[in-house]
Chain A
Amino acid sequence: MIILQALVNGLVSGTLLAVPAIGFTAMFAVLRFPNFSVSGVATLGAFAGYLAYGAGLQMAGSLAVAFAVAGAAGLLFDKVAHLPLVKQGALPAAIASIATGLVLENVVRLGFGNEPRGYDRPIARDIHLGEIRVSPQQLETMALALGLMLAVFAALAFTRIGKAMRASADNPELAALKGIRPERIAMMASFVGMGLVGVGGMLLGLDSSIDPLTGTRILLSIFAAAVLGGLGSAPGAVLGAFLIGIAEELSVLVVGSQYRAAVGFVAILVVLSLRPRGLLGERAF
């Protein structure tokens, strides 16, 4: 029964984790460098949503604020710091993104200090299904996360800009020949990718509390989900997120909660050793 409860919890946290993982992997597919500022942006999103929720906005509206603020920060930092360096290679851009993540983390620290803050959601009784417990809040955030993911996949599949983005990720030269403007696609990827990361930071902070290191704590899980599914593959990121979410919950039963954060690292090592392109392969957008 404990295992079943852990599976349910893993499914919930996996759904939430999938949101920033899609954002990270989509940015990697289009912009071609691993953006480590995901940690700072997730924190920023969590705090932006916290302020909006505290100001009386509904959950969906607060998540939209988190999306917009995080997306704007992502756009700005890609423009001034990361993308000019990509020309020299992925590594200088990746290193700069560590610095920008640190900038965001400390801007939040300057404003809010290090004390953890909670979202103060109304308390509700857990729903019992046999011996499995789920809270209505978990269901609500899960539904919001699923809705957002569906919207992203629909946009990628059916809209012009979504198709252009996939084309550009697949073959930038050919896409440019077809009249797709690469700078616009890059801006779109920065904004939407980091927007999703910001929402993810808030979603994952809702159940517990947030502080300036919130994003840093989920960074490895996000990377692990993306690498597990295949860097650059959005469906892969979702699959990876579910697996990481479940593995993290199960690991708590085996080695205790203190090693939860190590699960992502072990998963990355195993996948890279056995199946370096990830479960679904790279570029399976």
Chain B
Amino acid sequence: MISYLLFIATVGGIYGLLALSLNLIWGGAGMVNLGLAGFFAVGAYASALLTTAGHAPIAVGWLAALAAGGVAGLVVTLSTTRLREDYLAIVTLGFAEVVRLLAANEIWLTRGSDGISGIPGPWKAALGPAFNAVYFLIVLAALAVVFFVARRIDRSPYGRALRAIREDAQVAQVAGKPVLRFKTEAFVLSAAIAGLAGALYGHFTSYIAPDLFLPLITVYIFLAVASGGTGRPAGALLGAYLVMTLLESSRFFVEWIPGVTAVQRAALKELLIAVTLILVLRLKPSGVLPERIPPAPPQAR
């Protein structure tokens, strides 16, 4: 039971990182990333390949995952930041699909749908059964760092500028904010965090494959951010664990329904997630922890 809870808490923490990543751009700058699963995969593969085939230390793999996610984010935003937000939505969706195609078909590099197994965990042999607990602490540490960075940004002048861009990019531009640069920076940072989350996931489960990075993960994270509270890092974090709880409890729930096949159970679970997301968007769009807009600082005379 303890190991099950630790597993849930760790995966929930990784979802929390993804939720913070999404919140940074969606809540912060009003951009969406429908390809979150793709950036997650890029980080997971970068770190897994470096540490298995490349024999690099795990820490190097994680740094590489951050960098790979960021570079992928830069590529995606370069062609779209000048355009309306709907285009970014379409492009990111396509990006995740292409990442999955590459992972499934470039067998020389990624071993295709067999996936990469034997991804090393930090001190795994020495720790033995305590590995899960230690890994949970590592994820928690990463989560804490990202959380405080996110909150720092949220409350800084930079975060306020991002919000201004979210509300009205034209006004922000007129006020002298480098809108394009800010949007690109925010997206790159967000994509890098998603990449790190992917690496943390791969080294935890020691196995990754293209089918683990389905667009469904992106929907989970959107549900996390929307239900927790868009625009507030604490909300994103809370939302990630809410989604994790929903996912796990729905598993028990659908197993309890008699006379349904495994495929139908999976369909029911996805239905539940999708319907919940629609209900949250319609009925409680501000989430459990609504965004707090800090009062403007007193004007210096």
Contacts and interface: CB of A to CB of B under 8 A. Distances in A.
Contact of A100 (B30, B104, B215, B278): B278
B146 to A, nearest CB: 23
B263 A113 contact: yes
A227 B101 contact: no
Interface stretch (B9-17, B58-66, B82-90, B195-203): B82-90
Indicate the member of B95, B101, B219, B271 with the most A CB atoms within 10 Å. Answer: B271
A110 to B, nearest CB: 5
Contacts of B185: none
A281 to B, nearest CB: 14
Interface string A88-118: 1111101110111011011101100110000
A103 B275 contact: yes
Nearest to B84: A90
A157 interface: no
Contact of A259 (B94, B105, B261): B105
A268 interface: yes
B94 to A, nearest CB: 4
A89 B273 CA distance: 23
A94 to B, nearest CB: 5
Given A106-B267, A107-B271, A90 B94 contact: no
Interface stretch (A57-65, A241-249, A269-277): A269-277
A34 B92 CA distance: 13
Contacts of A92: 281, 285
B259 to A, nearest CB: 12
Contacts of A113: 261, 263-264
Question: What's the interface size class on B, roughly?
Answer: 35 or more
Given A102-B270, A103-B274, A84 B282 contact: yes
B94 A268 contact: yes
A103 B273 CA distance: 9
B87 A227 contact: yes
Contact of B91 (A100, A219, A258, A269): A269
A227 B86 CA distance: 11
Contacts of B215: 216
Main secondary structure of the interface of A (DSSP, over half): helix
Main secondary structure of the interface of B (DSSP, over half): helix
Interface in A102-155: 102-103, 105-107, 109-110, 113-114
Interface in A240-270: 258-259, 261-262, 264-265, 268-269
Nearest to A260: B101
A284 interface: no
A223 interface: yes
A281 B70 CA distance: 32
B97 interface: yes
A85 interface: yes
A106 B282 contact: no
B97 A220 contact: yes
A230 to B, nearest CB: 12
A67 interface: no
A161 interface: no
A88 B230 CA distance: 13
A33 interface: yes
Contacts of A94: 32, 86, 89
Indicate the member of B87, B271, B275, B278 with the most A CB atoms within 10 Å. Answer: B278
Nearest to A271: B79
A36 interface: yes
Nearest to A282: B84
B222 interface: yes
B101 A261 contact: yes
Nearest to B260: A110
B222 A98 contact: yes
A268 B267 CA distance: 31
Contacts of B91: 265, 268-269, 272
Task: Rank and list the top 6 A-B pairs by shortest CB-CB distance, nearest first.
Answer: A265-B94, A102-B274, A109-B267, A106-B267, A99-B277, A99-B274
Interface of A: 28, 33-34, 36, 80-81, 84-85, 88-92, 94-96, 98-100, 102-103, 105-107, 109-110, 113-114, 216, 219-220, 223-224, 227, 231, 258-259, 261-262, 264-265, 268-269, 272-273, 276
